[in-house]
Amino acid sequence: MNVLVTSGGTSEKIDSVRGISNISTGRLGSLIAGRFAEEADVDKIYYICSGTAVRPDCGKTQIIPADSVADLESAVRNLLGKTKIDIIIHSMAVSDYRVRAVSSADALALALAQCYDNTGEADIREKLAELIKSHGTDEKSAGKLPSDKDDMLLFMERTPKIIPIFGELSPQSTLVGFKLLDGVPLQALIDRGRQILTQNKCAFVLANDLRDISDTGHIGYLIGKDGGYTRHTSKSEIADAIVCAAVGERRRLI
């Protein structure tokens, strides 16, 4: 069996020295990879992770670095394009947005004034989109932004969703997705996890709430295809449950 584990949190650049990052440490992903290494019929574990993520210290593991969402998508497409993967654990915290452009309140106000002086009535959304494109600074070529500007503005755009790519490129894989919410009722958490499971044809989804995660504890709910779930109360317990469920499902399909 070949296993893919994504772990840690992605980071999106603002300029050459600054970025916006998710807070995921990768500890759970590392434990999951380590637990897979204990399975006799697991041959190889591909561990795609950010540079700051905890990495497993075990055999069978190949580390593939990926810091941004673009890095992650490229690594996933490259791996699945040439390697048969039996189990995919998508535990990485993927940024929902990345920086499209950077500007300042003064620059945008000036550009708006010039725009309306020249054109009169205009569609606000269309004009703002044009101004962002023409007056914002492309973060990829900005270098280091100055530190003496007030009211800096970041214009964000959505990143591509990664989890559908697994179904697109490797539909035969047993896929385990993750869903993290913050401060919601248990039923809302379970319902959202079930949606992720159905929409992405996952075999299982690990649903957890940020308020239940700390350095000393982690509560997670592993949801199966039938909508039922089991509750687990530590990272090691969650890792064990995920590996047992995924390997068991894989063996059942063989």
Q: Tens of pLDDT along 68-108? A: 999 999 999 999 999 999 999 999 999 999 988 887 777 77
pLDDT higher than threshold 90 for residue 161: yes
Packing angle of the helix pair 27-37, 235-253 (nearest 10 deg): 50
Q: What pLDDT is stored for residue 121 in this prediction?
A: 43
In the chain, pLDDT over 70 holds for what percent of residues? 85
pLDDT tens track for 227-241 = 999 999 999 999 999
Is 17 a residue whose pLDDT tops 90? no
Specify the pLDDT at position 120.
46
For residue 90, list its beta bridge partners: 6
Q: Pick the more confident residue, 254 or 176.
A: 176
Place of tokens 């990879």: 33
Residue 131 pLDDT class (50, 70, 90 cuts): low
First to last CA, the chain: 11
pLDDT digits (tens, 9 = 90+) for 34-76: 999 999 999 999 999 999 999 999 889 999 999 999 999 999 9
Identity of the highest mean pLDDT range in 105-114, 145-154, 242-251: 242-251
What is the per-residue burial (b if ≥16 Cβ within 10 Å, else e) of 159-178?
beebbebbeeebeebbbbbb
CB–CB of 103/15 below 8 Å?
Answer: no
Q: pLDDT value at position 138?
A: 52
- Per-residue pLDDT band for 139 (boundaries 50, 70, 90) equals very low
Q: What is the mean pLDDT of residues 187-204?
A: 97
Q: Do residues 216 and 144 lie in contact, with contact meaning Cβ atoms separated by under 8 Å? A: no
Q: What is the mean pLDDT of the chain?
A: 89
What pLDDT score was predicted for residue 177? Answer: 98
Cβ pair 3, 44 in contact under 8 A: yes
Single pTM value for the model: 0.87
Q: What is the largest CA-CA distance in the chain?
A: 72
- Looking at residue 111, what is its pLDDT? 72
